[in-house]
Amino acid sequence: MICSLIATCKLNDVEPYAYLRDVLQRMIDGHSVNRLDELLPWSWKPADHVKT
């Protein structure tokens, strides 16, 4: 699954490790389950604390 996420990130011009770090932190912080589509690589916007 991780390899698939990394490949999808690369296909969408998203830095994979910044993406994974941000998404995991958002999940820990309680990101709403109803808004998971925001965390998919093709629609992801980095949080202010993420350096890409």
pLDDT at 19: 92
| Distance between CA atoms of residues 33 and 30, nearest Å | 8
pLDDT at 10: 94
CA angle (23 as vertex; 5, 52 as ends), nearest 5 = 85
Query: pLDDT of 12-50, one tens digit each?
Result: 999 999 999 998 888 888 888 888 888 888 988 887 655
Going from N- to C-terminal start, the domains of the chain cover 2-39
- Orientation angle between helical segments 16-28 and 2-11, nearest 10 degrees: 120
Q: What is the pTM of this model?
A: 0.74
Say yes or no to pLDDT of 8 above 70: yes
pLDDT at 50: 58
Residue type present at position 10: K
pLDDT at 15: 93
Nearest to residue 4, comparing CAs of 18, 16, 22, 21?
Answer: 16
